[in-house]
Structure 1
Amino acid sequence: MQESSATIGRDLGRIFQAFSVMPLLSLPVALVWHELYAVPALLVSTLLPLGIGTALVRRFAGAAEPGKLHGMMIAASGWFLVAGFGALPFLLVAWTQQLGLFGAPLLSETTAAHLSALNALFESLSGFTGTGLTMSVNESELPHTLQWWRSFIEWIGGVGVIVLTTAILARPGSGSLTLYESEARSEKIHPSIVSTVRTIWWIFLLFTVFSILVLWLAGMPMWDAINHAMTGLATGGFSITDGSIATYDSPLIDFALLPIMVLGSIAFPVHYLVLRGDLSQLYEDLQTRWVFGFFGLLSAFLVAIIYSQGVYQSTETITFLGTTLTGNAAALFQSVRYGVFQLVSAASCTGFQTANSLGTQWSMAAQMTVSIGMVVGAAAGSTVGGIKLVRLATLTKGTAYRIRNVFLPETAVTHFELGRRKLDDQEAAREFEEAAIITFLWFVFLAVGAFVLMLTVQSAYTLPNVLFEVASAQGNVGLSAGITGPGMPTPAKVMFLFNMWIGRLEIIPVLVLLRGLLYREGVFQ
């Protein structure tokens, strides 16, 4: 038991040390925007985790490398505790303004929401998990330092805090691999796990620069482009405007964001191979094929629903790239513009919103179609949440495989093909079982979250609204039907914290941690 605690303590200390770099790197933002009153908050947010992390690393310096059990507990507790440290800038900047310290300006209503420690933790965990649900009433009123901090934690969270730790505090060996896999990742780009995570970061940086340039050329101001590129690629969805992407009311910006969100939906090993010239991965890789197929089919279905129901009126006149559209052509264009964007935003678990009427004017069928995208998600090994397409593929193909085998003679030798992998019956059963367990648990906690929300929110919200909101939280999406906000009841906020946490780590590590805390002796035997 003592050895296990030492291993967990040592590796949590390393995670805290890596995190402490983040507030430090945010100091230039406060200086550039002349928000000097935010500097003390960022320094405290640096020194506190650095001090605690260093103390833990020194105290347990000789601890053994983590096993699978330790890895899950470190990942689950590390993510939650890092979110706790990540809440400090929100909390401290808000209180600095509330008390008028260091020449701080008057506190806005939006920043005032973060005077509550629970709201600050909600904002931080929503950021790190790439969810994007927010306690901020009007994001444009936030200090630039907090706007950046929200985008930065989503950007880091998109790749993962353990991947960040491994990249900064390189530890070759089996321990790093165990922690890497505990963060819901399995495929490696290189034999060395340290080389793998560093390659992931180089790819992520390259795509971030590309995304900033695309959004700037599409008409976004540079500050806006930087923030939305970071949160779009990380499929997080935090915005620096009150209306999310709808604020810009620009079809060109909407369409420019589509490839950015799709980039975040594809696994990093596929990106690596494509960047090395192997374009065949775009159609040969199972998950990538399913990403394009799933996004395309569901988008077409959603567009058909909202066009047939006349959500967007044919009386509008639309101008796009010098072409003026009126009548049915304008209505069809708007249906495609909003339908495709919202579906890709949902299925990529990004959570950007362009349809302001998503929770009111869109029909139950349209909302549930978007919810399906949020529940399933995209590729494992990318930045997205949800159940993941590989599990949908496993369940679909596995069911067909089982039914087909009933009609074959008992002596027949068969293999279950999953992408380019050929699995025997035992391996197929293991894959099918894992996919079924995660999917089952996902819907169990979706139901629990919906039950808690129905008990606590006003009766004005319908069951589809509630399911939509919980699916958004647990799928780490961030689209909202209008339920989430600082006035949300405390039990609902706590439930959503749990939904976001388990959604990012794919449930099992969190349950292992909770069991370990409740039944310590049994876990550490």
Structure 2
Amino acid sequence: MQYETVGRDVGRIVQVVSLMAFLSIPVALINGEFYAVPAFAVSGALMLAIGVALARTFIDAPDPGKRHGMLIAATAWGVIGVLGSFPFLLIAWTITLDPFPAWLNTPGITETTAAFRLPLNGIFESMSGFTGTGLTMAADEEALPRSLHWWRSFIEWVGGVGVIVLTVAILARPGSGSLTLYESEARSRKIHPSIVSTVREIWKLYLGFTLAGIALFVVAGMPTWDAINHAMTAIATGGFSVRAESIGYYGKPLIEYAVIPVMVAGSIAFPIHYLILKGEIRNIYADLQTRWVLGWFALGGIALTAVLLLNQQYEAIEPTFRTALFQFVSATSNAGFGTTTIGNGTERAWTTGATLLVCLGMLTGPAAGSTGGGLKLIRVATLIKGTLWQIQSVFVPASAIRRLELGDRTLDEEQIHREFTEAAIVLILWLAFLALGIAVFLWALAPDYPLEYIVFEVMSAQSTVGLDAGITGPEMPTVPKTMLIFNMWVGRLEIIPIAVLLSAVLRNGDR
């Protein structure tokens, strides 16, 4: 096992992430939060030193192969989840040791940021941000300093498209190593023959959608600062908000309807966005994943509307439909914004049926190649079509040559078996890690919370959604909090890289 390759490339990724801390310094200055400047500077310097040390130590390591790519992805996402906690920790302790800045900012800032003096809470917030989850340790998000509002949105924005994709765009040169790293973040479709050109095109599209989202939210009536942060986390399908009540804070239907298309945009694969913007509009319905995404959003929104109407959850049809559509799209896109209360921890708000329907949306997730998590609809399509194909094979002569249409691809029997097996393995491992998380929660928290809310909370973390049922918070015990960090890490990388890393560690330990 060439750990030198892993160490070198993880070091390069950490160097790129360190730039994010330095780029956050102007935000602190513009907002007059001068106490945050040293925290960002020290955080950036520490990350840069770690990254340079790793990259230089293993500078002569060979290019990564497929196995290395998975090890690099799993290790890098774990490392940046820890290192990204530095600004939370340092800003929290700066405010604690010198309360003067708190007098110049939002009331309650000292109490809210105090949670991040505990390193585990900062790691939780950082992992939640980089993985695009959105679960938070902030008891009152509005009371956070703008410097931390920005850091949370920034790491979620970068994490949405992928820190490895960012690294390839900035540092990598054309070659097989770049392709391996690109594919390690569960991406396979390219826009251009060159992988570096592909990732740079993705970033252009991503920035364009972000700017369009900011403009849309401002026109809909959202304050500029809120619009900037929410556009970044909406296209990243992340869900961090600058408001404790998320999008529900505004109480404006126009804003709620404006957020939906940005969440939808984050759910569609970027190569498809590229083709659509080039004028190939037919991809909206011709592309299998895009067709399934839009259809699933519509079907799920209607089904959830019916459930909420039957439960008489809300007073009128339009608010019920708006709430149902928003929450289902938010859950399935993995955006994690909220407009209503799904659960209050020990007290039920939504019924079991409505809660589990949202869980189903979180499980499937959006398209592969988007910013969302979950199983991905292409795997769901592969499992459904592959199962039907297996059943139909009973009625077909053994000598028959069979094919399976999967979107614009025609698969032969060998390809069908390979892709069906891969999708089934991911599903089994995904459910196994989900069951582990639920078991830990039941051990640590039951019978204080309803079972469906425990399932909801773990599902939200592992699908990198960020909706909560009132369980997650700074007062959560250490064991389930740590478990959610693990679930977020596993969910962002879609299981296989984590399984490869764990296997490599266990094999090395047996020697």
Residues 291, 389 of structure 1: 8 Å contact kept: yes
Residues 246, 356 of structure 1: 8 Å contact kept: no
Amino acid at match of 1:515: S
Residues 96, 110 of structure 2: 8 Å contact kept: no
Q: Please name the residue that 1:280 is paired with.
A: 282
Q: 1:32 aligns with which of 18, 30, 33?
A: 30
Residues 237, 336 of structure 2: 8 Å contact kept: yes
Q: Deviations over 1:491-520 (max 9, x none)?
A: 001110110000000011112112222222
Q: TM-score, normalised by structure 1?
A: 0.94
CA RMSD of aligned residues (A): 1.3
Q: 2:412 aligns with which of 421, 424, 427?
A: 424
Amino acid at match of 2:332: A
**For structure 1, which segment, 105-114 or 285-294, has the greater mean C-alpha deviation from structure 2 after superposition?**
105-114
CA drift of 1:296 comes to: 0.8
Unaligned runs of 5+ in 1: 314-330
Q: 1:52 aligns with which of 50, 53, 58?
A: 50
Q: Deviations over 1:222-255 (max 9, x none)?
A: 0000000000110000000111111101110000
Q: Please name the residue that 1:248 is paired with.
A: 250
Q: Distance in 1 between the 2:312 and 2:51 partners?
A: 57
Residues 180-259 of structure 1: matches in 2 within 5 Å? 180-259=182-261
Residues 233, 260 of structure 1: 8 Å contact kept: yes
Q: Which runs of 4+ in 1 moved over 6 A?
A: none
Residues 96, 104 of structure 1: 8 Å contact kept: no
CA drift of 1:460 comes to: 2.8
Q: Distance in 1 between the 2:324 and 2:453 partners?
A: 18
CA drift of 1:30 comes to: 0.2
Q: Distance in 2 between the 1:296 and 1:242 partners?
A: 28
Amino acid at match of 1:165: T
SS of corresponding position for 2:398: coil
CA drift of 1:354 comes to: 0.4
Q: Distance in 1 between the 2:194 and 2:91 partners?
A: 41
CA drift of 1:105 comes to: 2.5
Q: Please name the residue that 2:101 is paired with.
A: 104
Q: Please name the residue that 1:376 is paired with.
A: 364
CA drift of 1:40 comes to: 0.4
Q: 1:472 aligns with which of 457, 460, 482?
A: 460
Paired positions, count: 503
Q: Distance in 1 between the 2:3 and 2:313 partners?
A: 57
Residues 235, 351 of structure 1: 8 Å contact kept: yes
Residues 342, 355 of structure 2: 8 Å contact kept: no
Q: 2:132 aligns with which of 127, 130, 136?
A: 130
Residues 112-151 of structure 1: matches in 2 within 5 Å? 112-151=114-153
Q: Distance in 1 between the 2:474 and 2:509 partners?
A: 39
CA drift of 1:395 comes to: 0.6
**Percent identity between the aligned chains?**
56
Residues 19, 44 of structure 2: 8 Å contact kept: yes
Task: Confirm whether residue 303 of structure 1 aligns to residue 300 of structure 2.
Answer: no
Q: TM-score, normalised by structure 2?
A: 0.97
SS of corresponding position for 2:410: strand
Residues 457, 488 of structure 1: 8 Å contact kept: no
Q: Please name the residue that 1:317 is paired with.
A: none
Residues 186, 381 of structure 1: 8 Å contact kept: yes
Task: Confirm whether residue 348 of structure 1 aligns to residue 336 of structure 2.
Answer: no
Alpha carbons of structure 1 residues 274 and 522: separation in structure 2 relative to 1, 3 Å: farther
Q: Distance in 2 between the 1:433 and 1:286 partners?
A: 20
CA drift of 1:20 comes to: 1.0
Q: Deviations over 1:269-314 (max 9, x none)?
A: 100101111001100000000001111111100000101211112x
Q: Distance in 1 between the 2:214 and 2:360 partners?
A: 29
Q: 2:437 aligns with which of 449, 462, 465?
A: 449
Q: Please name the residue that 1:261 is paired with.
A: 263
Residues 244, 352 of structure 1: 8 Å contact kept: yes
Amino acid at match of 1:356: T
Q: Please name the residue that 1:497 is paired with.
A: 485
Q: Distance in 1 between the 2:13 and 2:504 partners?
A: 20
Residues 49, 85 of structure 1: 8 Å contact kept: yes
SS of corresponding position for 1:485: coil
SS of corresponding position for 2:405: strand
CA drift of 1:457 comes to: 1.7
Amino acid at match of 1:469: E
Q: Deviations over 1:90-119 (max 9, x none)?
A: 000000111118x53265221011000000
SS of corresponding position for 1:34: coil
Amino acid at match of 1:336: F
Q: Distance in 1 between the 2:200 and 2:57 partners?
A: 28
Amino acid at match of 2:468: S
Residues 71, 179 of structure 1: 8 Å contact kept: yes
Q: Please name the residue that 1:414 is paired with.
A: 402
CA drift of 1:357 comes to: 4.5
Residues 377, 386 of structure 1: 8 Å contact kept: yes
Amino acid at match of 2:169: A
Q: Distance in 2 between the 1:357 and 1:365 partners?
A: 12
CA drift of 1:358 comes to: 4.5
Task: Confirm whether residue 271 of structure 1 aligns to residue 273 of structure 2.
Answer: yes
Q: Please name the residue that 2:91 is paired with.
A: 93
CA drift of 1:402 comes to: 1.2
Alpha carbons of structure 1 residues 357 and 64: separation in structure 2 relative to 1, 3 Å: closer
Q: Distance in 2 between the 1:519 and 1:290 partners?
A: 40
Task: Confirm whether residue 21 of structure 1 aligns to residue 6 of structure 2.
Answer: no
Q: Please name the residue that 2:106 is paired with.
A: none
Q: Distance in 1 between the 2:490 and 2:398 partners?
A: 41
Q: Deviations over 1:26-83 (max 9, x none)?
A: 1111001100000000001111111121122222221100111111111101011111
Q: Deviations over 1:377-427 (max 9, x none)?
A: 010000001011001100111111111121111221110111111111111
Q: Deviations over 1:135-189 (max 9, x none)?
A: 0000010010000000000000000010011111122111111111111111111
Q: 1:397 aligns with which of 360, 365, 385?
A: 385
CA drift of 1:522 comes to: 7.8
CA drift of 1:458 comes to: 5.0
**For structure 1, which segment, 453-462 or 66-75, has the greater mean C-alpha deviation from structure 2 after superposition?**
453-462
Q: Deviations over 1:412-459 (max 9, x none)?
A: 111011111111111100000000010111111111111111111252
Q: Distance in 1 between the 2:117 and 2:446 partners?
A: 24
